[in-house]
Amino acid sequence: MPSPSSGSKSPTPRKRTTPASTKKEGTAASAPAPEAKPVEPPKPVETLSLIDDEPKKPRVPSTKPKTSMFPPISKIKAAAQSKAKPAPEPTPAPAALPPPPPKPVVLDLIGGKPERKPAPAPAPAPEPAAPEPAPSAESGASTPPPPAAPVAAAAPEGEPDGGEPAADKIVHIKPPIVVKALGEAMGLKAFQVIKDLMSMGIFANQNQTVEPDVAAKVCTLHGYTFEVEKREKGAGVHKPEPKVLEPVAPVPVVVTDESEVRAPIVTFMGHVDHGKTSLMDAIRKTRVAAGEAGGITQHIGAYRVEANGRPITFLDTPGHAAFTAMRARGAKVTDIVVLVVAADDGMMPQTIEAMNHAKAAGVKIVVALNKIDLASANPDRVKAQLQQHDLAPVDWGGNTEVCPVSATKGLGIDHLLEVITLEAELMELKANPKEPPRGTVVEAQVEAGRGPTATVIVQRGTLKAGHAFICGRFWGKVKAMLDDRNKPVKEAGPSVPVKIVGFSGLPNAGDELVFFANERDARELSEQRLEDIRTKKLAPPQRASLESLMSLMQGDGKKVLKLVLKCDVQGSQEALVASLNEIKSKKVELEFVHTGVGPITESDVLLASASQAVIIGFNTKLESVAVSTAKREGVQVKLYSIIYELIDQVKDAMAGLLDPETRESIIGHAEVRQVFDLTKGRVAGCYVTDGRIMRSGRARVLRRRQAVYDGGLATLRRFQDDVKEVRANFECGIKLGDYDDYEVGDIIECYTLEKVAQKL
């Protein structure tokens, strides 16, 4: 038993435990706890701090895993839900999962707005699930589910996943860009676009245009992408009207397998009193069946007959004037010309003129010697006259067929047709009926109830009803075709004459009819031609004149001066022709297209216009009709009363046709004594030995008497001054064009080029 002292003595007092000490002890006791934690938990989870003041980071895909010690509550909740409900990813969830709980409402406790569900992303490889911790009391509110993988950045509005702007957000406009059209493309009112432009400092109304860069800024403000569509080269705001091209000029006929023999086209020409019309009537009476009503009557100015089983097309031209008008417009329809000459009268002035027309056209001539049944007929005298005009008969050793005929008694007509058929066989006339049709207008008139009609001879192809065409400055469509017996036909082949109904205007004799596949193109080309005629109406045509240096060239290279000579009497004509033919020249030839006695008529003017000739009158005058025709055609007419003045003028005109000769004249020499290298190139220091060196002349460099350069002078200086020339015994600096290979001792020769008129 302890003693009282010891009993009174209190036991050893324990150390008083305070909260602070308790905390320290607890801290000391729990210090080794992190060491006891496993190094790698089965599944690290992240924690979500609800009171974290750090700013939210943008949702950027991250490949680096987070290093938080505790998983966020959202992932804990997501892990629980992932066991109950399979994820939308293609990777299947574990089969042994409890049924999914009801889907909780996800709230953002900081932002106060529902969290946007992230876009689905490919799920990572499955990992072993961590043990699910028990939910604590603090996690009373539902937490958002964790994302299955790092979420990619959300694409901007209006763009698909690939980063390309959506098709409905792209504005395509071709310049010029109108404000109203720009607003309509974006679905906005015009005033909204004007407001945006005013904010940029641009004031424009709804009908004005803006630049593409300004339109792009306006589209960007409203979330649109602006793309400018480039217009095609030459395209405008309005649809360009295509210009119809002119039809291709006819090329020479090429004989192919599809070519067929066509009928010859024959024209009767001659003096009006020599029985030309009677001869044509006789041919029609003998070759057209008498039982056909109207077969004898000629309606359309051309007709066809059968001779020896072959057709022949005849043109009923009242005189040579119509033939000249066709040839003046470039039409060559006739293959053979039958020159009708009366056996009792012989060659008359109009007969000679018709012969000259046929020669100028370059067609075959067959002479029909009419009225041989008369007692006064003298065929030998007519043949002698033909011999004088270079139409030697065949029985006289020439190549011109002369057929004696009688129109009143019907003698020799068969022989005439046989000769025409033989000449056509020798010419080998062929055409392709399957190519695009072309024809030439022979006559044109306006008929009551039909409008403008024209007689056309088809030269190529086959013309059918319904074809569109262009003829001269007018267009048309074949509404109806009539043959020489006034019967309707559906088509017309080569060398077939038809009357065509369907012209928009009255064409001229000699106009070419060209087929068009499109009626609209024919109409547009007609309008273009009419417009060209209106614009060129005041511009006079350029014809040959005595003062002009332009003339046609012959095959041998000689230039030709063509004349139409008219005199007062036959003696003056012969004297003038003889005097002008005495002008001898190897460079220029003088050609008389036509010579005659009497006043200058309209036919002479047309002949000169077609042949590019000059009309010369000696002691004669111009008819009133010919004055206006010459002015319209642009033909020059010269009138003389002194024969020597006329001859001198013709000589000057012939000499004026020749190009001037270029002659070289040497004016000085300079010797190169030193070569200077300057910044602008090498310059030759020269001493003028003789003559002078001119800045405007040409120069050549002579080295050992051989020319090494020939050209102009670029620089000519004496000391520091540019001079026009340097005379002998003076020094100068010379630079020749782009030449810089000067050597000491070179000779620079200066010369000029002079043009000297040639002489006959």
Pairwise pLDDT comparison (238 vs 476), residue with the higher score: 476
Place of tokens 């409402």: 105
Identify the weakest region by mean pLDDT among 18-22, 48-52, 89-93, 256-260.
Answer: 18-22
Amino acid residing at 203: F
Helix (H) or strand (E) holding 21: helix 19-30
Q: What pLDDT, on a 0 to 100 scale, did the predictor assign at position 481?
A: 93
According to the per-residue pLDDT averaged within each range, which of 182-191, 269-278, 305-314, 556-565 is highest? Answer: 182-191
pLDDT band at 540 (very low <50, low <70, confident <90, very high): low
Residue 547 CA, chain-centre distance (Å), reads: 37
Indicate if the pLDDT at residue 595 is higher than 80. Answer: yes
pLDDT band at 277 (very low <50, low <70, confident <90, very high): confident
pLDDT band at 675 (very low <50, low <70, confident <90, very high): very high
Q: What pLDDT, on a 0 to 100 scale, did the predictor assign at position 237?
A: 47
Strand, helix or coil at 84?
helix
Query: 3-class secondary structure for 246-291?
Result: CCCCCCCCCCCCCCEECCCEEEEEECCCCCHHHHHHHHHHHHCCCC
Give the tens place of pLDDT for each residue, 368-385.
999 888 888 888 899 998
Indicate if the pLDDT at residue 479 is higher than 90. Answer: yes
Q: What pLDDT, on a 0 to 100 scale, did the predictor assign at position 551?
A: 47
Q: What percent of the chain has pLDDT over 70?
A: 68
Indicate if the pLDDT at residue 131 is higher than 50. Answer: no
Strand, helix or coil at 566?
strand
Pairwise pLDDT comparison (394 vs 448), residue with the higher score: 394
Q: What pLDDT, on a 0 to 100 scale, did the predictor assign at position 447?
A: 84
Q: Round to whole Å and give the CA distance between 347 and 681.
A: 80
pLDDT band at 689 (very low <50, low <70, confident <90, very high): very high
Q: What pLDDT, on a 0 to 100 scale, did the predictor assign at position 8?
A: 43
- Find the radius of gyration of the CA atoms of the chain: 54
Identify the weakest region by mean pLDDT among 17-31, 405-419, 431-445, 496-510.
Answer: 17-31
**pTM exceeding the 0.85 threshold for the entire prediction:** no
Q: What pLDDT, on a 0 to 100 scale, did the predictor assign at position 322?
A: 54
pLDDT band at 565 (very low <50, low <70, confident <90, very high): very high
* For residues 199-223, average pLDDT: 89
Q: What pLDDT, on a 0 to 100 scale, did the predictor assign at position 102?
A: 59
Indicate if the pLDDT at residue 241 is higher than 50. Answer: yes
* For residues 457-482, average pLDDT: 91
Nearest-CA neighbor of 56 among 68, 44, 48? 48
* For residues 230-243, average pLDDT: 55
DSSP code at position 77: H
Q: What pLDDT, on a 0 to 100 scale, did the predictor assign at position 30?
A: 44
Indicate if the pLDDT at residue 155 is higher than 50. Answer: no
Q: What pLDDT, on a 0 to 100 scale, did the predictor assign at position 654?
A: 84
Q: What share of the chain is helix, strand, coil (3-state, %, to 5)?
A: 25, 30, 50
Pairwise pLDDT comparison (611 vs 24), residue with the higher score: 611
Indicate if the pLDDT at residue 27 is higher than 80. Answer: no
The tokens describing 44, both together, are 């690290």
Q: What percent of the chain has pLDDT over 90?
A: 18
Q: Round to whole Å and give the CA distance between 475 and 527.
A: 9
Indicate if the pLDDT at residue 46 is higher than 70. Answer: no
Q: What pLDDT, on a 0 to 100 scale, did the predictor assign at position 71?
A: 63
Long-range contacts of 204-212 (CB under 8 A, 24+ apart): 204/179, 205/179, 206/178, 206/179, 206/180, 207/178, 207/179, 207/180, 208/178, 208/179, 209/175, 209/176, 209/177, 209/178, 209/179, 210/177, 210/179, 210/182, 211/177, 212/175, 212/177
pLDDT band at 658 (very low <50, low <70, confident <90, very high): confident
Which DSSP string do the residues of 515-533 spell out, in sequence order?
EES-HHHHHHHHHHHHHHH
Indicate if the pLDDT at residue 742 is higher than 80. Answer: yes
Pairwise pLDDT comparison (556 vs 621), residue with the higher score: 621
Amino acid residing at 32: P
